[in-house]
Copies of this chain bind each other. A is one copy, B any other.
């Protein structure tokens, strides 16, 4: 039993479509017993697995939010076997602000798991997801995009798990789920220390789980939105919650890639304006110019030229023009 102070307005075990909120305590100076209302939709029918779909873990990542709002309105309970739990705007204060981090306390929600029931809004909500929702799930997908700063080739993202014991089965199921989702790329990361993310939390509960990177630049990308809408229905078909087979995108099966280490990153050594040498999704060579960093403080100085340190696909590229020292401006992925 959880000791969560979060109260759902919906009955997680009831059938049909329910639309309501999670009521998460958030004390204010002028409302000591105030709550924040996090939207939740449950669509359940018959027997089958439980799939938890989340978006708005970061508030400035829009493809998942719109795809899940659409799914929540249009998923016919009669067509469902099992249960779909949808949190279309999970970290609600960040979503309402259109920011990655919470305007309440600056927290990154994806660094809050497994949470703390009385650790403030984000920790309390993470604890509810971890202690109430994940234990009843079979599948979980947390829909991310590149956010305001980065643009990323639309990808499902999974973990390379330990290859022994229970994890071996989980690994195979994860890959099958990613194939079904059908993004252009499936990016697999060896996250021995994944840290306090929702994806790692789901895996600790034995849930077959994926994250994603579906666009970015702080905008709603129409092509990425189409991939996301198709992907979430593909996933429900794969789980057996919806009938039918997953649909493949016009780009064919998902390409399995990885980012082996920090040598596949290019970091800005100083503040400036970033002028990239190549568009996203280009194949680039180690040693080739990655772009120019323009420093406005000294118009007499030439821009700093940066180079790639690895060969592969320009999978993720700095989108926002202004960068700070230490920001990644390029991430290269390699086929596995």
Alpha-carbon distance between A30 and B30 when the two chains are bound, in angstroms: 12
Closest to A215 in B: B321
Greatest chain B CB density within 10 A among A33, A99, A147, A321 is at: A321
- Asked whether, in the complex, the Cβ of A108 is within 8 Å of the Cβ of B195, the reply is no
Alpha-carbon distance between A319 and B28 when the two chains are bound, in angstroms: 14
Q: Is A88 an interface residue (CB 8 A)?
A: yes
Q: Which residues of B contact A69 (CB under 8 A)?
A: 294, 296, 299, 303
Alpha-carbon distance between A217 and B21 when the two chains are bound, in angstroms: 28
Chain A positions 256 through 275: 1 when the CB is less than 8 Å from some CB of chain B, otherwise 0: 00000010000101110111
Smallest beta-carbon distance A217→chain B, Å: 7
- Asked whether, in the complex, the Cβ of B219 is within 8 Å of the Cβ of A321, the reply is yes
Q: Is A136 an interface residue (CB 8 A)?
A: no
Q: Which residues of B contact A147 (CB under 8 A)?
A: 29-30, 32
Q: A residues bordering B, Cβ < 8 Å?
A: 3, 5, 7, 19, 21, 23, 26-37, 39, 41, 56, 58-60, 62, 65-66, 69, 72-73, 86, 88-89, 92, 95-101, 105-106, 108, 111, 117-118, 146-150, 193, 195-196, 217-220, 222, 225, 262, 267, 269-271, 273-276, 279, 294, 296-300, 302-303, 319-328
Closest to A106 in B: B105
Q: Which residues of B contact A100 (CB under 8 A)?
A: 27-30, 32
Alpha-carbon distance between A297 and B269 when the two chains are bound, in angstroms: 10
The prevalent SS among residues of A at the interface is loop
- Asked whether, in the complex, the Cβ of B220 is within 8 Å of the Cβ of A321, the reply is yes
- Asked whether, in the complex, the Cβ of B111 is within 8 Å of the Cβ of A150, the reply is no
Other-chain contact of A299, B19, B33, B319 (Cβ < 8 Å) = B19
- Asked whether, in the complex, the Cβ of A92 is within 8 Å of the Cβ of B296, the reply is yes
Smallest beta-carbon distance A130→chain B, Å: 15
Alpha-carbon distance between A11 and B111 when the two chains are bound, in angstroms: 28
Alpha-carbon distance between A201 and B34 when the two chains are bound, in angstroms: 23
Closest to A326 in B: B35
Q: Which residues of B contact A62 (CB under 8 A)?
A: 273, 321-322
